[in-house]
A = this chain, B = another copy of it.
Amino acid sequence: MEIILSNLKIQVNEKIYVKDPETSALGKKIIEQSILLIDAIGFDNFTFKKLGEKIGSNESSIYRYFENKHKLLVYLSSWYWSWMEYKLVFATTNITDKKEKLNKAITIVTEKITDDTATEHINEAILNKILIAEFTKTLHTKEVDQENKEGFFLIYKRVINRIVTIVKEVNPEYAFAKSLVSTIVEGSLHQHFLTDHLKTITDCNDTVTTTQFYLNLTENVLR
């Protein structure tokens, strides 16, 4: 997987950026360091000025890549879900047993990423932390309908619908496949958040994982 991933160009909707950050050294530095800075100080405290200082570049240069920090977060999220989709497709192709395929898929989207994988300038483990802490903010804006129309959330929705297809293979009778999967994908980020911050309302921790919870849940719901 390592080799393949390192050659992989993750596709992100062009409308999200002003200039594709993958096309220059500065662009890659913006992505790499924004992930570290958002993780360190949180998205709310993150500014392009601070990022500029961190990478030794001018604020105005960053604006040539992204209109604002919201779009940058949408970009990072899109990249993440694109990477997730790749992992998902890679891990489930050629599995003939439907239940096994579904379990694999659920494992992929619910497990916490703990190690930096193949890509050059992107630390997926930290990006996963950012998604856990900040992903909902990409959706919860007044512009969500407009941005949805422009395709900002296409990859996210595609990841969910890929798993929906697998769910329907396991149980074609089940009436809530979409809601189940969207609950799992969003909910697993939430359970990771609770594990980190509000331990009294989750059972998930280092030994009992979020993945186990959702595997068990899905098994029970679809049987």
Q: What is A's interface to B at a CB cutoff of 8 Å? A: 41-42, 44-45, 133-134, 136-137, 139-142, 144-145, 148, 153, 157, 160-161, 164, 175-183, 186-187, 190-191, 193-194, 197-198, 200-204, 208, 210, 213, 216-217, 220-221, 223
Contacts and interface: CB of A to CB of B under 8 A. Distances in A.
Nearest to A221: B220
Contacts of A179: 191, 194, 202-204, 210, 213
Given A201-B161, A217-B180, A220-B221, A140 B134 contact: yes
Contacts of A221: 217, 220-221
B197 A182 contact: no
A206 B181 CA distance: 20
A203 B191 contact: no
A111 to B, nearest CB: 15
A197 B140 CA distance: 10
For A145, A164, A183, A208, the residue with the greatest tally of chain B CB atoms inside 10 Å of its CB is A183
